[in-house]
Structure 1
Amino acid sequence: MGVIVVSGTGTEIGKTVVTAAVASAARAQGRSVAVVKPTQTGVAPGEPGDVAEVARLAGDVTGVELARFPEPLAANTAARRAKMAPVRPQQVADAVAKLAVEHDLVLVEGAGGLLVRLDDDGATLADVARLLGAPVLVVVTAGLGTLNAAALTGEALRARQLEQLGVVVGSWPDAPDLASRCNLADLPESAGAPLLGAVPQGAGALSADAFQARAAGWLAPALGGSWDADAFAEEFAAVR
């Protein structure tokens, strides 16, 4: 896969850390990586955004941020309130195409969920994935409520005939509750896609060296890692 679109079932669920983990695993295989953030919201000028965080954790990646809007709102709303031009799907596709010529892997990290609007015409990250012909990796939460959110996102992808690469738990808790443990078995059926990883809670606070040393162990082979979904589920099923 030359391009992967990273979306999620909501905000603040670990998309950036998952993106960094995928980038790190790819780099460990000797692949060159670029990361594109179509819209960064809620970050002041000069303040590090998600692309900078991916680079901090994963190491030597090419980072591109197409637009930055100061208020922490949906992209189209933030652009409108800032009186700035929104980012259109074709702009994202063009930027990714250029990066794909010189990089083995390009990761496109969305903001919020799959259907958050990019502009007032109703374009979304799903339209970006369609233009790119790229699979979508969906980041989910661990606990109660994640099955419905994962099912809705999977349904939206299938309705648009987009490939869902799989789902990754963006922040696996240190002490998972019953719902989180049960969700390991239930998420693939609800999402309609395989479970491809679980990034531990607090992974984003690790040093770059520690993060890069561990990242592949959080991701399944389909994402360049060594994580085993069945073994992971069995480990936590034993303590139910």
Structure 2
Amino acid sequence: MPVLMITGTGTEVGKTVTTAAVAAAAAAAGRSVAVLKAAQTGVRPDERGDAAEVVRLAGELTTAELARYPEPLAPATAARRAGRAPVRPGEIAEAAAKLAAEHDLVLVEGAGGLLVRFDDEGGTLADAAALLDAPVLVVVTAGLGTLNTTELTARELRRRGLDLAGLVVGSWPAEADLASRCNLADLPEVAGAPLLGALPAGAGALAPDAFRASAPGWLVRELDGTWDADAFAARWAAPPL
């Protein structure tokens, strides 16, 4: 799995912090890691973007950012309004492949959800994944409403013949409500893919050293972690009627 695409079921679901956790766990396992941010929106040239946040949390690793647009919009819209060239799926795939030639793992973080457009021809992260034949990790929310967006994302991946590696809950609440607890069982079912981890709410606010030490405990062995999905589900199982 030299290249892993990381998308979400929407915005603000924890993609960047999840990317940092996967990077930190892989680095702790002795793997060389690169992170590619396909397009950064809503950030000025002098501001820190998502790639810099991954480095802050996960530690020094290779990063690349293909384009940056000032307005917090979908990349295609942000590029058009800024009068700048868009990032196309082929460019994402080419940059990821180059990084993969020199690293054990390349994490490609998308923007928003799977079908957010990068260019005016409708190019998406899914198209870049298809060019690379790369698996896709989907970051999901825990609570009410997540089943619909998760299933829609999973269905689209299957329709395109893409490999859904699994799901990671981007922010698991300290006091999980009934919907969140029920969703632990329902999410893998609607997605047809396993839960590969769950990050605690506020993980991104941890001190970097604490984040790096804790990250493997939030992810399964396949992501260089020690997280036990069955034990987590048993701990948070919904109470009987």
2:173 partner amino acid? P
Alignment of 1:76-225 (within 5 A): 76-225=76-225
Contact 2:197-2:229 within 8 A present in 1 as well: yes
Q: CA RMSD in A?
A: 0.9
The separation in 1 between residues aligned to 2:200 and 2:11, in whole angstroms, is: 17
The separation in 2 between residues aligned to 1:222 and 1:193, in whole angstroms, is: 13
Q: Deviations over 1:131-161 (max 9, x none)?
A: 1110000000000010111100000000000
Shift of 1:239: 5.4
TM-score (norm. length: structure 2)? 0.98
Q: Deviations over 1:189-223 (max 9, x none)?
A: 11111000000000000111000000000001111
Match of 2:54 in 1: 54
Q: Deviations over 1:81-128 (max 9, x none)?
A: 000000011111111111111110000000000000010001100001
Match of 1:13 in 2: 13
Contact 2:40-2:49 within 8 A present in 1 as well: yes
1:124 partner amino acid? T
The separation in 2 between residues aligned to 1:72 and 1:85, in whole angstroms, is: 16
* SS of residue paired to 2:86: coil
Deviating runs (4+, > 4 A) in structure 1? none
The separation in 2 between residues aligned to 1:238 and 1:82, in whole angstroms, is: 48
Q: Deviations over 1:48-90 (max 9, x none)?
A: 0000000000002101010000000011000000000000111
Q: Provide structure 2 residue ranges, at least 5 long, that are not aligned to the other structure.
A: none
1:87 partner amino acid? V
Q: Deviations over 1:31-57 (max 9, x none)?
A: 000000010000111100000000000
Shift of 1:18: 0.4
Match of 1:74 in 2: 74
2:67 partner amino acid? A
* SS of residue paired to 1:142: coil
1:43 partner amino acid? V
Task: Give aligned-pair identity as a percent.
Answer: 70
Q: Deviations over 1:4-39 (max 9, x none)?
A: 000010000100000000000000110000000010
1:116 partner amino acid? V
